Amino acid sequence: MTDIKSMDYDELCEYVVGIGEKKFRAEQLYGWMHQKLVSGFDDCTNLPAAFREKLKSECEFTCLEPVKVQQSQIDGTAKYLFRLQDGNYVESVLMKYHHGNSVCISSQVGCRFCASTLKGKVRDLKTSEMLDQIYRIQKITGERVSNVVVMGSGEPMDNYDNLIKFITLLNSPKGLNISQRNITVSSCGIVPKLKELADLDLQITLAISLHAPNDELRKTMMPIANRYSIEQIMDVCRYYIEKTGRRISFEYSLVKGVNDSMQCANQLTELVRDLNCHINLIPVNPIKERDYKQTGRDEVYAFKNKLEKNGINVTIRREMGRDIDGACGQLRNNYMEDVNESNGDY
């Protein structure tokens, strides 16, 4: 079956004309899928019935099924559990800020460095499955999504082709038309793909999950550190900044007694001193299967102050959705507990 929602506009036009329809039908169909965000071909009411039947026989229409929603009692953040058409599940998070609604989406079922890595990667998400996390949340809430963060389960650079198509469709004036500058993509540091990304000269924000200032420590925290050294990552970051002119963000999760010492702060300073970058400090969030402990508030601010005194641009990430396991690093691949507890929330 043809994954029609993953097609860009030109591909859809070629497909529609190829099956004997007029080109303007492609524009109508594209609008139904990517602007009106309908859930199936039968909702495309200005398309001829025969055309809709032909589409149903030849194409799959990706529409994620919302299984459960949890809303934080602390800050209103909402976490959505979606069932995919093959029976797998992904989670997405809606965060509301004064500047607009931001959605954090997953790029794979399972991932490398968060709660879901405990069961490993299952598969890549299709472009349409990445898009539809945003589409369903926008339809459910009735509110526009203005910012997108690809920072949920998965390593986006491992799903590179689908990621780039996702950005193209999300940015299209014929779709939601979300500015590239309002799209953030996080990576643990897949160096060859980061170089490819730099060569595209996109205006997205790149966030590198660093979490340690030296290779020895990083290898104890992130398996990817055994493939690519911090020196290689810094080199490709310099290349990315030179090619795109964009500032890079480094994500640094503070773990008590592991990477939160003043020595680590000084090493981190030396790593990034010459880069156009920003350090995003993240007090590690609890995950029941891991024994990481959160750095205390005073120690977090001491680490931040040390970086600032060294001339580094740094902020502490605001914790959102922690009480619903929706904060950074807490999305997981063990969904059956949530599924069994949902009891028809939708």
Catalytic residues: 91, 328
- Long-range CB contacts (within 8 A, 24+) of 26-30: 27/174, 29/4, 29/55, 30/174, 30/175
> What gap in Å lies between CA 331 and CA 93, rounded to an integer?
9
Greatest alpha-carbon span in the chain: 69
Please report the DSSP string for 152-182 in residue order.
SSS-GGGGHHHHHHHHHHHH-TTTT---GGG
What CA–CA distance (Å, rounded) separates 186 from 209? 7
Question: Tokens for 134?
Answer: 């945003």
Determine the 3-state secondary structure of 78 from DSSP: strand
What one-character-per-residue DSSP string does 91-148 give?
EEEEEEETTEEEEEE-SEES-SSSGGGGS---EEPPHHHHHHHHHHHHHHH-S-EEEE
Structural contact between residues 156 and 187, judged by C-beta atoms closer than 8 angstroms = yes
